[in-house]
Structure 1
Amino acid sequence: MANAIEIWTNFTALDRSDPFAFFERARMLEADGWDGATFPDSHQVNPEVVSMLGACTQITSRLRLGTGVTNPSTRHPAVVASAMMTLNAISGDRIVLGIGRGDSPLAYCGGSPVSIKDFEAALEMIRAYMKGETVPLELAATALARNSRVGFGDDLAMNHAPEGSLIKWIKPSHRRPPVEVICTGPKVIQIAARQADHITFALGADVERLAWAVGVAKEELARIGRDPADIIFGAHIPTFPHHDQAVARKLAEGYVTAQARFGVMTNKVVGPADAGQRANFERLAGNYDMRAHGMIGSAQARVLDDDFIDAFGLIGDPAAAVERLKRIVALGITKLQLVTSQASTDDGRASYGLATTEIMPAIRAAA
């Protein structure tokens, strides 16, 4: 049976110093009919994600909530698992664990994304912890922060050490939230095919690149004998409709730069790209300023061509956005994470309004 269309968005606030502003946005998103919303786990840019999601579970009743996205470096896999299981329990099974290799939360601590090998190992640990299974202490210790001493030593007052690492409060009756891996490159897509319940591509709205990513995932699913029908495929898509194309581009450029960078994170362009796209990716990589991560008017935004921005996101005409989304859904992508404007300007509010009153209803009607 085909998965039903889910339409999610982001909830952040223009004034990130006021946690209550995020709560107002969560209430608004639920009232506006979104299926779910994600909150970023970038603890030095936004308020702390688990605290925020915990509060939002109590002020919403229907809206699904997720991390957009966490990582297994700034949080040990056991901490991730316990936090998500707690949120799922108190929310009435409304949580999705969105996870990736990490970007800004590591960068602001002086670190780089988790290695491919360690990322898959962390996913295996998280899934085991959430099932109430025991993880070998030696494996759990590999994910400890560098300032933690591995092992116990003769100088520690401990007669009997734990036999393994497990989360004791989790019982078989507790429902496990889905694990959603957010991915761009082929290696992480393959890991997602092996480990995730949801595979969500951070490739923008380019239909050709999304088709390539779905193909990579399905090839790996076939190799391991896993049914694609058991997976929910999703896409993170910058969605900034406006009747003035130039205004739409300006609203979109901050998020487009942040997400497009994933396609050239290691200074190599991943996925299919024509000469023009490749040149934009390469300029983005060479000019990216993390101090202006996701910001309008940044140095990295100024190096992108208008055509690149228009192709990477759903920018401008809402009717054209709907038609492209139909093509994306036809690829088997049924979870649409539409990143919408959070600007408090008239143009920002108008863009968000078009997303909720024209794009979202049209996609639901076409499903």
Structure 2
Amino acid sequence: MKFGFGVNPQGVDEVVSAGVQAEALGFDRIGLWDSPLGHREVWMTLGAVAAKTEKLRLGPWVTNGITRHPVVTAAAAATLDDIAPGRVILGVGSGDSGVYNLAGVGSKLADLEEFVVAVRGLLTTGRAEWRGQSLAIDWPGERDVKIFVSAHGPKATRLAGRIGDGVIVGSGVSPEAIHSARDLIAAGCEEAGRDESQIETWWMAPWYISEDGEQAKNDALWHLTSLVHHWSRTGGKGMFPEELREGIIKLGSGYHLRSHGDPSPEEKAQYAAEAERLGVADYLRRRFTISGTPAEVCVQMAEAAQAGALNLDCANAAPKGRVMVRPTNFHTLVRPLLQEQSAMATGTAHVH
């Protein structure tokens, strides 16, 4: 198994420190949000992290094709590859807070596909077609920058399997959610005549870990509103049990993107109370979070791995000054249990 986490970059020094610590603790990768209203500029911050690390993979997790032109994105990724050769991973999505907070609207899937294809063309051949125009970039040469497509809904997940070098799955980490997403990725690969085994898939969920398991689960409650607000714009039909769907959509529609990643204590309390009031907290917590005591989290991660989720990504929205709290809790409290479990069980995935 491999582990990584995202960062809502609220200070360059803290993010650089987090990158250095992540590398020392054996995390595979770190990703930075591209959301300029509330966070530091993603590519400049990534350059600072790259200069202080040697092995850690890094990149935007995720950027978008609304606020970033394909040539600008390809040039930024190639420049980062100059600083960190072979370590750059480019997460791309339809756009969330980084778009909506700038009075924009997220990409349609066809536009997202065109953007991904254009950026890949620019990074591999220096040429691309985009929106009926011929684009060019002369200096990068051929770059091996993997493009990961972020996907929450069924259509996006299938698209990601068809066009992505990798997939960032945001539709849940329960075994049933994992099986469903894997089927969609496989279908997308089949459409494109691709080998599914060559697609690197990361499974995104917030990790909340404490010896006080109930406290950890309560701490995770606010995050549910953030995780389901994606579907408040689409209705989430087919994504949730029908008897819960109305409550889930109502919960997500109350999320404030202006404070995305770092809500006030009052907002967190409001989100948690609303999830409980609507009767969706238990279902959403099980599907979308990894939370509880170290032993409970170990079981949840092992179940996810058994279902096929071997790369786990912590959705690490955190207040300034606390970026490394949850990754460190995982490393200290859970990783030893996973390593012990792996050593005892023949044929299980190795824990890095």
TM-score normalised per structure 2: 0.86
Q: How does 1:93-104 map to 2 (within 5 A)?
A: 93-104=86-97
Give yes or no for the alignment of 1:268 onto 2:239. Answer: no
* Structure-1 residue corresponding to 2:3: 7
Structure 1, unaligned runs of 5 or more: 141-163
* Structure-2 residue corresponding to 1:50: 43
* Structure-2 residue corresponding to 1:338: 314
C-alpha displacement of 1:83: 0.8
Identity %: 24
Q: How does 1:1-367 map to 2 (within 5 A)?
A: 5-12=1-8, 16=10, 18-136=11-129, 139-140=132-133, 164-172=134-142, 175-262=143-230, 264-275=231-242, 277-294=244-261, 295=263, 296-298=265-267, 299-305=270-276, 306-311=281-286, 312-340=288-316, 342=318, 351-363=326-338, 365=342, 366-367=348-349
State the Cα deviation string for residues 299-342 of structure 1 (Å, max 9, x = none).
44431134145312111112122222222222332221123474
C-alpha displacement of 1:349: 7.2
C-alpha displacement of 1:270: 5.0
Question: In 1, Cα distance between the equivalents of 2:242 and 2:130?
Answer: 49
Question: In 2, Cα distance between the equivalents of 1:70 and 1:136?
Answer: 20
State the Cα deviation string for residues 183-226 of structure 1 (Å, max 9, x = none).
01111112211211111211232221221111111122223321
C-alpha displacement of 1:87: 0.8
Question: In 2, Cα distance between the equivalents of 1:26 and 1:345?
Answer: 14
What CA RMSD, in Å, does the superposition of the two structures yield over aligned residues? Answer: 2.5
Structure 2, unaligned runs of 5 or more: 343-347
C-alpha displacement of 1:66: 1.9
Question: In 2, Cα distance between the equivalents of 1:239 and 1:37?
Answer: 15
> Which has a greater percent of helix?
2
Question: In 2, Cα distance between the equivalents of 1:353 and 1:136?
Answer: 44
Helix, strand or coil at the partner of 1:75: coil
Question: In 1, Cα distance between the equivalents of 2:144 and 2:121?
Answer: 11
Helix, strand or coil at the partner of 2:118: helix
Q: 1:256 to 1:129 in 2, by over 3 A?
A: same
Amino acid across the alignment from 1:319: A
TM-score normalised per structure 1: 0.83
Amino acid across the alignment from 2:291: I
Kept in 2: contact 1:53–1:65 (CA 8 A): yes
Question: In 2, Cα distance between the equivalents of 1:361 and 1:270?
Answer: 40
Kept in 2: contact 1:11–1:26 (CA 8 A): no
